[in-house]
Amino acid sequence: MKKNLLIILMSGIMLSPACADIQDPDSTEQAQVEFDVEVVTDKLSNPWGMAWLPDGRMLVTERAGDIRIVQDGKLLADKVQGFPEVYAQGQGGLMDIKLHPDYASNGWIYFTYSSPSGGGNAHTAVLRAKLQGNQLVNQEKLFQALPQVRSGVHYGSRLVFDGNGYMYISVGERGTMQNAQDLSTHSGSIIRLHDDGRIPSDNPFVNQAGAMREIWSYGHRNPQGMAMHPVTGAIWAHEHGPKGGDELNIIQKGKNYGWPLVSYGINYDGRPITDKQEMEGVENPVHYWDPSIAPCGMAFVTGDKYPGWKNSILIGALSFRYVARVEVKDGKFVREEKLLQDIGRVRAIEQGPDGLIYVATESPGQIVRLVPKK
């Protein structure tokens, strides 16, 4: 394992509760923490998700469709075999990975990926399987977002277990804005299912004619980060805005998060999407970024390895190539600071079983961990 002896100094930036200008020149409050950055591996291709087996091995998904193994600090040459075909085009491919909360008893590993249906059509899907040696066995496809469409963007594709037998899946609107307000499609929504794929009877739209019964919330653009608050149990998610207007939200049953009826951003060509930033019946974000940071990956800090970080949210910034540490209190934004500036396009962040923070970047294709200075 390589060690980067550069000490990372973190600049704390105070921001308004509504809008995050992460380069606010008027910031006065500073925080300074020292830690080493250790390179776990730099031999990956577009890593998207990380999960640890009870024996300490790390499983890493690569967007092209491979599952890699890191053991004792080394990336093994042998890959996990048997994953079905993925649509690895545009933003699609093999994405998130999570172990079932009771993995020690049932052995289930869950994956999100873009599942193809031919003709260039694909959409977000969830598969679970068990690992036997280096082979995936007992595969079950638990969810397939519909309709499958010919588009290379906005799969969402994060997966969270809430500890109560439910799993949440983020699904992007696949590049068609109106999908996010259409309950007859899964696109642009957060899905809630039992961990075996069954639809819960108390989902908000189970009895609504024409609505997809799996939907928990809607009005989302492209949520590529999702995590459960370690104290409240609430599901938090962030999503890509257009040009400006990336959002951080608390996900609630049956709520509409507004895309594209409201937005803090504009089209990439400069044209307006809407003249509204708020609307009755639409949930306001806890926080938004303008300019966009292109958020991806998300984790709450739950341990005491990093003094002052407990219950903070760590969010990757693809565009600006850093990790944002966001402090929240009572469901409200407090402040943000930038970590690991210029580390690369951050795709995934996880807290490992050793209590350390692991960060995966797609450019370069590496995983690093943050080791506090003693």
Query: Residue 212 in contact with residue 186, Cβ under 8 Å?
Result: yes
pLDDT band at 196 (very low <50, low <70, confident <90, very high): very high
- Residue 140's CB is within 10 A of a number of other CB atoms, namely 13
pLDDT at 21: 36
Query: Per-residue pLDDT tens for 97-143?
Result: 999 999 999 999 999 999 999 999 999 999 999 999 999 999 999 99
Non-local (6+) Cβ contacts of 237 within 8 A are 158, 170, 190, 220, 223, 225, 226, 227, 248, 249, 251, 298
Whether residue 223 is predicted with pLDDT greater than 60 in this model: the reply is yes
pLDDT at 34: 84
User: Which residues participate in catalysis according to the annotation?
Assistant: 154
> Where is pLDDT greater, at 34 or 262?
262
Query: Residue 48 in contact with residue 96, Cβ under 8 Å?
Result: yes
User: Residue 343's closest CA among 12, 35, 97, 18?
Assistant: 35
pLDDT at 89: 96
Query: Per-residue pLDDT tens for 17-54?
Result: 333 333 333 333 444 568 999 999 999 999 999 999 99
User: Residue 199's closest CA among 251, 151, 155, 143?
Assistant: 143
**Pair type for strands 2-4 and 332-339:** unpaired
- Domains for the chain: give ranges and CATH numbers: 2-347 (2.120.10.30)
Q: What is the mean pLDDT of the segment spanning 161-165?
A: 96
pTM: 0.93
User: Residue 111's closest CA among 62, 153, 76?
Assistant: 62
pLDDT at 374: 82
User: Residue 171's closest CA among 182, 153, 186?
Assistant: 186
